[in-house]
């Protein structure tokens, strides 16, 4: 049985057990008028091992939120804690997969996946077997020497995702990883991602426009509303979840609830 429980209280406040804690964050791009900031005083917590989706209209600030968490942007006000540490230097503390796959076109699949190892100056030889195991797992065996332009959209996304995992970070930020995929490929990627997440026990923050995807994959959903207000929905559907769930009455009811919230009908 699933039920939607909306609250803002639980998402706020610092917690020592959270892998990510955001407290009273405000942010505006420079040059913006006062009152037109993207975020005003938002707070949220993510617990280790959680799968949390972020949804919201185009332009509501989802990618900006990820850039702030990843340390590519700095908050105007407020704090971002990762693993209980209030760190000014967040760059490299999380695995970040940007909205575009950003594979380097002149590098092969294997060399794209090796990139985080090179950046962190770890020994490449020690990671070679881990990478070939990953390529196998991600259905990319035999494509080690292929270049990005030789891959399908879904394969490119898997390479970018494997590269994000190779950062070795506990917290993964995935910005619309399946946004450009057709529904059949997406369907396969969901089953694959659910299995992988259950195995790897990573914490995932996941941006999507797809409500079914958000409900199917997540423990909680953060809905970004106007002026950076956040609402939170708990998805209390037992795991393991399979994609057939989307036809169940509880699932459909939850989707409707979410749609009403998005369109301010509730």
| Interface contacts to Mg ion, rule CB under 5 A | 62-63, 99
The residues, any chain, with a CB within 8 Å of residue 42's CB and separated by 6 or more, are 22, 24, 25, 26, 78, 228, 229, 230
Q: Which of residues 26 and 99 has its CB atom nearest to ligand ATP in the complex?
A: 99
Q: In the complex with ligand ATP, which residue's Cβ is closer, 4 or 56?
A: 56
Please give the structure tokens belonging to residue 175: 């910005």
Helices (H), the chain: 62-70, 109-119, 124-137, 153-165, 183-200, 211-217, 249-262
Least distance to ligand ATP, CB of residue 31, Å: 7
Nearer to ligand ATP, 61 or 134 (CB): 61
126 vs 226 by CB, closer to ligand ATP: 226
Q: Are 164 and 134 a contacting pair, CB within 8 Å?
A: no
From the list ligand ATP, Mg ion, none, partner contacted by residue 241 (C-beta under 5 to 8 A by kind): none
- Which element (helix H / strand E) includes 40? strand 39-46
By C-alpha distance, which of 75, 72, 67 is closest to 28?
Answer: 75
> Of all residues in this chain, which one has the CB nearest to Mg ion in the complex?
63
6 binds, among ligand ATP, Mg ion, none (CB under 5 to 8 A by kind): none
- Nearest distance in Å: CB 63, ligand ATP: 3
Residue 101 or 170: the one with the smaller Cβ distance to Mg ion is: 101
> Helices (H) and strands (E) in the chain — how many of each?
7, 11
* Exposed / middle / buried, residue 240 (Cβ in 10 Å: 0-12, 13-18, 19+): exposed
67 contacts 220 by C-beta, under 8 angstroms:
no
- Output the smallest distance, CB 175 to Mg ion, in A: 6
| Least distance between Mg ion and beta carbon 63 (Å) | 3
User: Which of the listed partners (ligand ATP, Mg ion, none) does 64 bind, with a CB threshold of 5 to 8 Å by partner kind?
Assistant: ligand ATP
| Least distance in angstroms from the C-beta of 224 to ligand ATP | 7
- Residue nearer to ligand ATP on the CB measure, 24 or 63: 63
| Residues forming the site for ligand ATP (CB under 6 A) | 29, 38, 56, 58-64, 99
Q: How far is the CB of 38 from ligand ATP (least distance, A)?
A: 5
Q: How far apart are CA 121 and CA 125, in angstroms?
A: 12
* Residue 264 interacts with which of Mg ion, ligand ATP, none, CB < 5 to 8 Å by class: none
């Amino acid at each position: 049985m699933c039920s939607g429980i909306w609250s803002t209280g639980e998402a706020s406040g610092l917690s020592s057990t959270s892998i990510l804690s955001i407290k009273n964050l405000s942010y505006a791009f420079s040059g913006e008028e006062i009152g037109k900031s993207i975020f005003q005083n938002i707070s949220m917590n993510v617990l280790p091992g959680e799968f949390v989706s972020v949804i919201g209209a185009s332009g509501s600030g989802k990618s900006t939120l990820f850039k702030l968490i990843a340390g590519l942007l700095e908050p105007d006000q407020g704090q971002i804690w990762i693993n209980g540490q209030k760190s000014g230097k967040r760059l490299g503390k999380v695995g970040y997969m940007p909205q575009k796959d950003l594979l380097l076109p002149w590098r092969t699949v294997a060399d794209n996946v090796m990139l985080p190892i090179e950046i962190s100056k770890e020994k490449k030889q020690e990671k070679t077997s881990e990478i070939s195991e990953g390529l196998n797992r991600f259905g990319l065996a035999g494509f080690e020497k292929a270049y990005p332009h030789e891959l399908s959209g879904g394969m490119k996304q898997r390479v970018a995702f494997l590269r994000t995992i190779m950062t070795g970070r506990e917290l993964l930020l995935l910005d619309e990883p399946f946004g450009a995929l057709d529904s059949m490929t997406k369907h396969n990627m969901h089953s694959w991602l659910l299995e992988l997440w259950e195995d790897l026990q990573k914490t995932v923050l996941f941006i999507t426009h797809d409500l079914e995807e958000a409900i199917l994959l997540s423990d909680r959903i953060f809905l970004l509303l106007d002026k950076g207000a956040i609402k939170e929905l708990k998805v209390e559907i037992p795991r393991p979840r399979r994609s057939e769930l989307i036809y169940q009455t509880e699932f459909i009811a939850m989707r409707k609830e979410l749609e009403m919230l998005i369109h301010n009908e509730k």
